[in-house]
Structure 1
């Protein structure tokens, strides 16, 4: 038997195609898909967020049982195309899992009746969303590039990667644009997020190509045969990015000056936090990550290698074994978990004392503001700020607050502990994040003593602790 996948982390290549094509302003996507499929992407239920806007350039064929079971999808595809012809946009027909299962292949029909319409087989059943986006981007280039020799425009930079449904893309894109401008580059295209089909042929004329995500986009970048850089995360990575970009566009002096100014301004809060008392906590912080490869590797590099925190695990969510991940959390709780909604559910199921920070989809999180980057220098400051604020919030639990007891409630009795119960409590508390251990130990101790009193016992014994944990 094949491996059972718990809580699938990525969408299919069908959604990847829709999220890649629809940002292009002069494309209209026809999905050979069942009734209701368009609602998922149209109202962003897929990611439970507003990361995907309403798609006015998306139309399903609205397959029913009749087409799937007997007649096939050719007729409804032809009717849909007839309704949309002449709208001034390039029509692209995309297959879905349902149309692929019944063997719908519209290449011949389109060549005979609608030669201007292109067909993209999404391979919805065979590829995940990152593989699908990568292939969709390369396919756009193969279909719509003018095949003319490149005429390089010195100093120009194009970004490949921002598509609908990518976590935190508005903020990270804004930070990437800021770094390019500061280094002296002239932004030519953001493909496909801020582009049209007309821009595809111009991509190869860029001096440098920046691939925003490590999950996809490299195939297209390599096809353009231009120097390629990845969008950076963390301090060293960003400094290297600035200097490398400056070298490629022959703005090395401006890049060096910009990097020096970054240290004086954008990175100043990081330096202040490093010199402050909260820096004493950094070596005690244990964190875990389950996110897309870009964020998993970037957070491990920045927080673990550069800030000296303890990275317990950093998993690419596209290939992570979620069953093993849940077991890892149960055995060793990180203090911070950067992840998806499924990871937050695991933490809740285990009653973990872990602070969850969203770092990927799917998840009920809004990331449309430009002030929450993970990438670049601004991202380094933002992430560290979030962690330190959370640490201060955790410290609030240590305050000796005199809570008002409920009316008629008797004060909890003080009951002695057996040595075995004390040892068990210590072992349980030791598994919790370091800064949470005091509050967890105090909470378990109070609950154990109250339960022992309720049961009429004169001593807290290990069986009492086991009932609570």
Structure 2
């Protein structure tokens, strides 16, 4: 039986390839895609996910039913190439799911007519966006590396990964650069973002390569033949990252001094929060994560293992079954949910008391400011700050604020509760986030007694509570 995919949050390899190639300043992408489809990549989705401007280095072939049903897309590709004319940018033709379905393969045509233009078969029908990004980066190296022997520059570090459509990329990149420079190293390239196409030849001259995301970039890093470090998340990983980078670049003393300084500066707010009365809440906090693998694993490790909070679940959004996740939220509601817009919708459907914190795309959320990192030491402080502020906000709901409503006109009367109703109330309340259980239980009890009064009853029974669920 075919399995229905609910609220798919990972795009195809076509999207991943376009978001990777278009991040290069001297590349122009031609998308062999139908009318309208390219808008999702070229404008709408990016605008709604991270305020990325319209891509000026992107042109579609705008396939119609005629090309898809009979003639094929070669003529459309040729027409677009001729209209673009001579350009200093490297043109890359990328296939879409639709062009792949009709068997469009322009490799031979381009070699014959336009040998300077390259064709990238995105495998949009078989791969997701992270696999597409990973293949695109490796393909760029295989096609545009100068093949010269590496000439290692002492202390030079290159970062692989940042591109369009990655959650929180600008801020996490800024934190990663801060850590690298603090260790006494220098930034050679940030690829593909902040780079030109042929900068890929210079990556192998770096003393160390840092891969920013776990989802992709490792294939290219391995091809370069240089020591590779993974961008850190939380306290332990960041400490080890600083030590390893110092050792690999010969800057052990500066890296050690930088780490000591970090504990007295960047991390000081974290220690203050840990020693303060807020820390008593940390063991009671139950949280869940549904995000890209980098953030799902990073948040689970930092908040769960390092800060002692209770991780109910941590899902890689590229693999998770959203039907099962929705059911999981209905039975066990976390106090904090780090996720995507679909997770926020599930919580709203359940009228959950969970506090939602954006941690992945898709979602109408902008993450362009440099002061909202999740990675590194600054990320650890920012995340804990957000959680503590949300806890204070939750406590605000405990204030005895009197609200005038139509229910106030109902006559005051003593409402009894059956033993079974009380037991059910405790079961329902136990599923709510710990810190909000008191207010949630009080609110649910009031609703049940109000309903009983409206129905002319003097006792709350389990069936009345079931009506409120």
TM-score per shorter chain, which class?
A: over 0.9
What secondary structure sits across from 2:165 in the alignment?
coil
Query: If the length of structure 2 is used for normalisation, what is the TM-score?
Result: 0.98
Q: Number of residues paired by the alignment?
A: 469
Listed one character per residue, the Cα deviations across residues 356-408 of structure 1 (whole Å, up to 9, x for unaligned) are: 10000001101011110000000000000000111111111111112234598
Listed one character per residue, the Cα deviations across residues 25-71 of structure 1 (whole Å, up to 9, x for unaligned) are: 10000000011123212323267223532100000001111111111
Could you say if the C-alpha distance between residues 119 and 384 of structure 1 is closer, same or farther in structure 2, counting changes exceeding 3 Å?
same
Aligned equivalents of 2:448, 2:331: Cα separation in 1:
22
**1:126 matched residue in structure 2:** 126
* Range with bigger deviation, 203-212 or 397-406: 397-406
Is residue 28 of structure 2 the alignment partner of residue 28 of structure 1? Answer: yes
Aligned equivalents of 1:44, 1:370: Cα separation in 2:
23
The answer to whether the Cα contact below 8 Å between 1:47 and 1:362 also exists between their aligned partners in 2 is no
**2:5 matched residue in structure 1:** 5
Within a 5 Å distance, the mapping from 1:419-434 to structure 2 comes to 419-434=419-434
**1:237 matched residue in structure 2:** 237
Could you say if the C-alpha distance between residues 51 and 126 of structure 1 is closer, same or farther in structure 2, counting changes exceeding 3 Å?
farther
**1:175 matched residue in structure 2:** 175
The answer to whether the Cα contact below 8 Å between 1:61 and 1:77 also exists between their aligned partners in 2 is yes
The answer to whether the Cα contact below 8 Å between 2:47 and 2:53 also exists between their aligned partners in 1 is no
Aligned equivalents of 2:51, 2:150: Cα separation in 1:
34
Could you say if the C-alpha distance between residues 448 and 171 of structure 1 is closer, same or farther in structure 2, counting changes exceeding 3 Å?
same
**1:321 matched residue in structure 2:** 321
1:176 CA drift (Å): 0.4
**1:191 matched residue in structure 2:** 191
1:287 CA drift (Å): 0.4
1:412 CA drift (Å): 5.6
Listed one character per residue, the Cα deviations across residues 56-102 of structure 1 (whole Å, up to 9, x for unaligned) are: 00000011111111111000100111112312100000000010000
Aligned equivalents of 2:102, 2:38: Cα separation in 1:
20
* Range with bigger deviation, 46-55 or 263-272: 46-55
**1:248 matched residue in structure 2:** 248
The answer to whether the Cα contact below 8 Å between 1:7 and 1:322 also exists between their aligned partners in 2 is yes
Aligned equivalents of 1:203, 1:438: Cα separation in 2:
56
What secondary structure sits across from 1:398 in the alignment?
coil
The answer to whether the Cα contact below 8 Å between 1:47 and 1:165 also exists between their aligned partners in 2 is no
**2:93 matched residue in structure 1:** 93
Is residue 278 of structure 2 the alignment partner of residue 278 of structure 1? Answer: yes
Aligned equivalents of 1:53, 1:244: Cα separation in 2:
37
**1:351 matched residue in structure 2:** 351
The answer to whether the Cα contact below 8 Å between 1:414 and 1:449 also exists between their aligned partners in 2 is no
Query: If the length of structure 1 is used for normalisation, what is the TM-score?
Result: 0.98
Is residue 105 of structure 2 the alignment partner of residue 102 of structure 1? Answer: no
Unaligned runs of 5+ in 2: none
Q: CA RMSD in A?
A: 1.3
